[in-house]
């Protein structure tokens, strides 16, 4: 039996963008609720302070949500095992949020 490596990856930015968008359109299962439209503001905010953006998504959409960063959707949920600082941040944000 002959081993075959993975297909080569294009380093052409336009090709990667097109490939990502085509792959996204082929998905038959819908993404979880969330922000799915392109937003430069959200992409910049994620680059500056991702935790604040993730906590906002958690408050608005629940533990599993979709967030479009740059050109692709990213499904997020708090990991089961995460560093104490992130865990404490999620806990304090949930405790401080108005009910």
Using 50, 70 and 90 to split pLDDT, how confident is the model at 59? very high
Residue 9 belongs to some domain of the structure:
no
Domain that holds residue 84: 33-96
> How many domains are there within the chain?
1
Let me know if residue 65 belongs to a domain.
yes
Length of the chain: 99
**C-alpha dihedral (50, 96, 84, 58), degrees to nearest 10:** -40
Our CA angle for 11, 71, 21, nearest 5°, is 75
- Mean pLDDT over 66-77 rounds to 67
Model confidence, pTM: 0.54
Asked if the structure places residue 60 within a domain, the reply is yes
75, two tokens: 């499904």
CA distance 82 to 97: 21
Q: Is residue 4 part of a domain?
A: no
Q: Using CB atoms within 10 Å of the CB of residue 28, give its burial: 0 to 12 exposed, 13 to 18 middle, 19+ buried.
A: exposed
The model's pLDDT over 37-57, given as tens digits with 9 standing for 90+, comes to: 888 898 888 888 888 988 999
* Residue 75 counted as domain residue: yes
């Amino acid at each position: 039996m002959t081993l075959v490596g993975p297909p080569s990856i294009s380093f052409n930015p336009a090709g990667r963008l097109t490939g990502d968008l085509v792959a996204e359109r082929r998905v038959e299962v819908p993404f979880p609720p969330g922000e799915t439209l392109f937003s430069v503001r959200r992409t910049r905010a994620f680059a500056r302070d991702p935790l604040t953006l993730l906590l906002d998504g958690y408050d608005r959409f629940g533990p599993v949500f979709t967030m479009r960063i740059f050109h692709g959707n990213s499904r997020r949920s708090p990991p089961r095992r995460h560093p104490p600082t992130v865990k404490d941040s999620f806990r304090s944000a949930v405790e401080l949020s108005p009910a």
